[in-house]
A and B are shown apart, each in its own frame.
Chain A
Amino acid sequence: MSDHGHHNEGHHGHDDHGHHEHHETFISKYIFSQDHKIIAKQFLITAIIMAVIGMGMSLIFRLQLAWPGEKFAFSNFFLGDKWAPDGVLDPNMYLALVTIHGTIIVFFVLTGGLSGTFSNLLIPYQLGARDMASGFLNMISYWLFFLSSCIMIASCFVETGPASAGWTVYPPLSAIQKAIPGSGLGMTLWLVSMAIFIASSLLGSLNYIVTVFNLRTKGMTMTRMPLTIWCFLITAVLGVLSFPVLLSCCLLLIFDRSFGTAFYLSDIFFSGVPLEATGGSPLLFEHLFWFLGHPEVYIILLPALGLISEVISTNSRKPIFGYRAMIVSILAIAFLSFIVWGHHMFMTGMNPFLGTVFTFTTLLIAIPSAIKVFNYLATIWKGNLRLSPAMMFALGMVSLFISGGLTGLILGDSALDINIHDTYFVVGHFHIVMGAGAIFGMFAGVYHWFPRMYGRMMMPKLGFLHFWMTIVGVYGVFFPMHFLGLAGVPRRYFSNEEYVLFQDVQPINIIITCFAIMAAIGQFVFIFNFFYSIFKGRKSNQNPWGSNTLEWTAPIERIHGNWPNAIPEVHRWPYDYSKPGHDTDFVPQSVPLKEGESDGH
């Protein structure tokens, strides 16, 4: 280590970590670990468990939506006689399931799970750092995430049921405890869980930002960072700027619920009583909520886009096209994401002039998004595409990003939003672009970096099977939803049978549910593949995909400090794939430039 120690002046103090391996006990190594690799796995496995729960909930309400009033032993088995007597779902529980499904998938899987796993795994590895800037805060971040997950799950078991005002928990429905059973203790636990989750997210994000700015290895300039790191960095910045607003939003709701304040309540006559609260406004809540809520969409999407940038480039054996344009697009998306929240509120009674402003900013986001898509297409053009499972999912995400992004042009246009606001068109749109899109990015990441995490490969054939079941399922479930929405079917409806207008559309719901069941079965293929491969998978070599980034220069065995000797020095950008003048079709970042070779890209 001593020879190369001088390379790391200014960002070390970590160089000697490799020596401490033998001091670790089981608890410090696997449970209260401060090692970024273990924490990444903890996030991933927690997120997988949460995802299974969230998906299971969606199956129960999909059954009801396809065959309203039918008896399902499946529903009764999971919900019991109180919430699904004879297997017929209770309307209150339906709303609760919709709410908790949304909360779990948005926050616990796609925010905590996605960023938590891959920011933790890749930021130190790809930057050439021994670990995160603060391993201790990183550990706290995970355990707060775990605690908030437990509270969210626990809230499903209280007598009056979990929160059921929709994942956006708009007051007064969420504030008046008697307005819906779920607004009792269940809502309190939801808010407590979210407050803890926000603390976890903030600790994680601060850590990521500090690490990226301070712990880059020698030669790793900002414009030599892989796009994954750029995305994680910008995501963390978005999180730090927007999550505190959600925290204050939730705190004020807690005050309104428990301490008789009136931030969100006014002029309410509920069950025979004119409530004392006056002067508040539900619109205040909506503004605060969506001030987080919209950046949140990009907190979910950007890490996934970062992962697929790396996966697509590596597996195309081609540099990512327009590296700098990609960075500028990410920055533009991040900036715009803070000034578009009002497009969730066109129909709330907000001044129509604000609708004008938010339509303008919202549609502008399509420009950097289009640039990203075209750059991905240019990257695979004339490539040598290794269609690994990771690559399949990455390309699938590009497809979903296009499909879901395009319908955003309709929703973001205030005049068109009038007729499809809060309908199934919205549900189809955001599940494709943000739900499935980000999940695909996450799967691409898991298949690609599994050998880095566990030193073994996942089985590619099962990966392909999983991919096909998932993409067919996603398009089968969410594409028809656009037709439901255009027919006017509102989201969060327990059944459509009350309306003359919706009487013919039921076959669409049945088709959707069938695809949903198939897609859910497909996920068990993944789960089997994942856990089986951890123990029995084929042994990986150090750099199975022929990648350029630094994580593949570290030994397969997990050691604290990542590299046994000096940390590698960086001499080039991460996308020298198939570069003319080299014998191999990849040139790792740690390989010095040849004489006369230019680093220009």
Chain B
Amino acid sequence: MALLIFLTVVLVVVAVAKIMRSHELSTKLDGDQADFISLSEIKTQGFLYALFGAILFILIIVQMCVWGKYILPSSASVHGDEIDNLFDVTMYLILFTFFVTHIVMFGFIYKYYQKKDQKAYWFPHNNKLEMAWTIIPAIVLLSLITYGLSTWQSVMYQDSTKDSVKLELVAEQFKWTVRYPGKDRVLGKVNFSAITGTNGIGIMTSAAVDSSLVDTRKQIAALEITVKELDSLVNIGGWSGKADDLDDAEDNLSAFKANERRLIRFQEEHKKDAAYYKGGEDDVVVRDTLYLARDRMAEFTFRSKDVLHSAYFPHFRAQMNCVPGQKTYFTFTPKYTTEEMKEVAASEGKKFVMYELVCNKICGASHYKMRFPIVVLTQKDFDARIATYKVFGDELTGK
């Protein structure tokens, strides 16, 4: 089938070419012999260019009308309006420049396409003109830069408020985990060395470090056996089919040994330092939904366990990459609860069903599925909702 379509296309192209070629040969004698393109052809193309310009303009306006509702989902954060204003100003400027320069260009093409007795005008340069179109863009751009940077400043450097909630979003292939600080309003310390099956984001409490060390030693013991077995197969038995497995097992063994060293060092450093571990005990880990409270500033910390991810909140005009080995930050204040947002969006003529968190940095085969629902509640509902989850200390011990 594909081959058939391909052949058809080729044949059509060949046929068109043949027709054109014979047409060209037959009309060759009409025009000026010295020119390879006749004036009548140039006239046609000049006309087509102008026509194309007109159609392009119409289609752009049509697109604006039909798809205009997709231009930014309704804003749901306090700083979102600032960004949207900047966006509108920039967009009008862009559209104005686009239409003016294109009308000039298509106009010139239509007016000055080659004609029999037309002479081009010798006009190699003009200092005044050149100054004008250096200085005017410079002024416009400097104003735009100033406006843009003041917006950036106010979005990226938001002072934390008294009642702000500090929360953490951890990304991994292909899911998200949220951590709330609990009653003490402090997020406990974290480290990737402490990650285990029950402690998926590596919260450092005294018990968590101990259990991770137990876990790591179990892994080491198991891997030592595996390495020995594979080694006897590969290096003594000469069975190279398992060489890759042996490499992997050796790598993993040395990784777990390094983890053991890190954990022991950690225990020693914080032996008499009970306060160090305290923050994590009452943290709340949520794996199914990101809950936020309306009008309460959310100060996010982002982390990643494996590869780069990006936490993108289209409605809240917020985005930040999640980087392994580094914490990143973004702060915003939700303005409407999910229910309120439905009405707000409807009043703006836009569709809204629910808030969603989007993974926006290529992270693997299921990148496109790495979605996380967001629910914004009133303060009261939010507190009630979070209270239904176990605190981390209990979760770890299975209480």
**Chain A 390-412 near chain B by CB (<8 Å), digits 1 or 0:** 00100100110011001101100
- Report A-chain residues with C-beta under 8 Å of the C-beta of B60: 479
Q: Spot the interface stretch: B105-113, B159-167, B383-391.
A: B105-113
- CB pair B360–A490 under 8 Å, yes or no, is yes
Knowing A172-B306, A462-B20, the reply to whether A395 touches B105 (Cβ < 8 A) is yes
- CB pair A487–B366 under 8 Å, yes or no, is no
- CB pair B256–A274 under 8 Å, yes or no, is yes
The answer to whether the Cβ of A377 comes within 8 Å of any Cβ in the partner chain is: yes
B309 to chain A, nearest CB (A): 10
Choose among B115, B319, B321 the residue that contacts A419 (Cβ–Cβ < 8 A). Answer: B319
- CB pair A459–B86 under 8 Å, yes or no, is no
Bound complex: CA A525 to CA B351 (Å): 43
Q: How many A-B residue pairs have CB under 8 A?
A: 393
Chain B residue with minimal CB distance to A356? B149
Chain A residue with minimal CB distance to B64? A483
B341 to chain A, nearest CB (A): 12
The answer to whether the Cβ of A373 comes within 8 Å of any Cβ in the partner chain is: yes
B31 to chain A, nearest CB (A): 11
Chain B residue with minimal CB distance to A375? B130
The answer to whether the Cβ of B214 comes within 8 Å of any Cβ in the partner chain is: no
- CB pair B124–A468 under 8 Å, yes or no, is no
Bound complex: CA A317 to CA B331 (Å): 58
- Report B-chain residues with C-beta under 8 Å of the C-beta of A282: 308, 323-326
The answer to whether the Cβ of B52 comes within 8 Å of any Cβ in the partner chain is: yes
- Report A-chain residues with C-beta under 8 Å of the C-beta of B101: 373, 377, 402
Choose among B121, B307, B356 the residue that contacts A499 (Cβ–Cβ < 8 A). Answer: B356
The answer to whether the Cβ of A6 comes within 8 Å of any Cβ in the partner chain is: no
B61 to chain A, nearest CB (A): 12
Q: What is the interface of chain B mostly: helix, strand, loop, or mixed?
A: helix
A409 to chain B, nearest CB (A): 6
- Report B-chain residues with C-beta under 8 Å of the C-beta of A356: 149, 152-153
Bound complex: CA A322 to CA B123 (Å): 9
- CB pair A321–B125 under 8 Å, yes or no, is yes
- CB pair A360–B145 under 8 Å, yes or no, is yes
Bound complex: CA A281 to CA B308 (Å): 11
The answer to whether the Cβ of B16 comes within 8 Å of any Cβ in the partner chain is: yes
- Residue of B1, B122, B126, B192 with highest tally of chain A CB at under 10 A: B122
The answer to whether the Cβ of A457 comes within 8 Å of any Cβ in the partner chain is: yes
Which residues of A from 299 to 338 have beta carbons under 8 Å from B? 316-325
By the criterion of a CB under 8 Å from any partner CB, how many residues of chain A are at the interface?
Answer: 138
Choose among B324, B329, B362 the residue that contacts A265 (Cβ–Cβ < 8 A). Answer: B324
Knowing A359-B145, A385-B114, A498-B371, the reply to whether A419 touches B83 (Cβ < 8 A) is yes
Choose among B48, B251, B319 the residue that contacts A418 (Cβ–Cβ < 8 A). Answer: B319
- Report B-chain residues with C-beta under 8 Å of the C-beta of A601: 124-125
- Report A-chain residues with C-beta under 8 Å of the C-beta of B397: none
Chain B residue with minimal CB distance to A538? B36
The answer to whether the Cβ of B205 comes within 8 Å of any Cβ in the partner chain is: no
Bound complex: CA A172 to CA B152 (Å): 29
The answer to whether the Cβ of B26 comes within 8 Å of any Cβ in the partner chain is: no
Bound complex: CA A409 to CA B14 (Å): 43
- Report A-chain residues with C-beta under 8 Å of the C-beta of B258: 274, 276
- Report B-chain residues with C-beta under 8 Å of the C-beta of A464: 41, 45
- CB pair A415–B152 under 8 Å, yes or no, is yes
The answer to whether the Cβ of B221 comes within 8 Å of any Cβ in the partner chain is: no
**Chain A 498-513 near chain B by CB (<8 Å), digits 1 or 0:** 1111001100100000
Binding site for B on A (CB under 8 A): 73-74, 76-78, 91-92, 95, 165-166, 170-173, 176, 179-181, 265-270, 273-276, 278, 280-283, 316-325, 347-349, 352, 355-356, 359-360, 363-364, 366-367, 370-371, 373-375, 377-378, 380-388, 392, 395, 398-399, 402-403, 406-407, 409-410, 413-416, 418-419, 421-423, 457, 459-462, 464-465, 468, 471-472, 475, 479-480, 483-484, 486-488, 490, 492-496, 498-501, 504-505, 508, 521, 524-525, 528-529, 532, 538, 540-541, 544, 575, 577-580, 585, 601
* Leading 9 A-B pairs by shortest Cβ distance: A266-B325, A349-B328, A488-B314, A382-B121, A487-B70, A352-B156, A578-B120, A77-B2, A415-B151
Binding site for A on B (CB under 8 A): 1-3, 5, 9-10, 13-14, 16-17, 20-21, 23-24, 34-37, 41-42, 45-46, 48-49, 52, 56, 60, 63, 67, 70-73, 82-83, 86-87, 90-91, 93-94, 97-98, 101-102, 104-105, 108-109, 112-115, 118-126, 129-130, 133-134, 137-138, 141, 144-145, 148-149, 151-153, 155-157, 172-173, 191-193, 195, 202, 251-252, 254-256, 258-259, 302, 305-308, 310, 312, 314, 317-321, 323-329, 351, 353-354, 356, 358-369, 371
| 7 CB < 8 A contacts A-B | A91-B365, A266-B326, A325-B134, A349-B328, A371-B137, A402-B98, A415-B83
Known contacts A402-B105, A418-B317; can you find 14 more A-B pairs with CB under 8 A? Answer: A92-B365, A180-B365, A268-B306, A278-B325, A363-B144, A399-B105, A415-B149, A416-B83, A460-B41, A483-B71, A538-B36, A575-B124, A578-B120, A601-B124
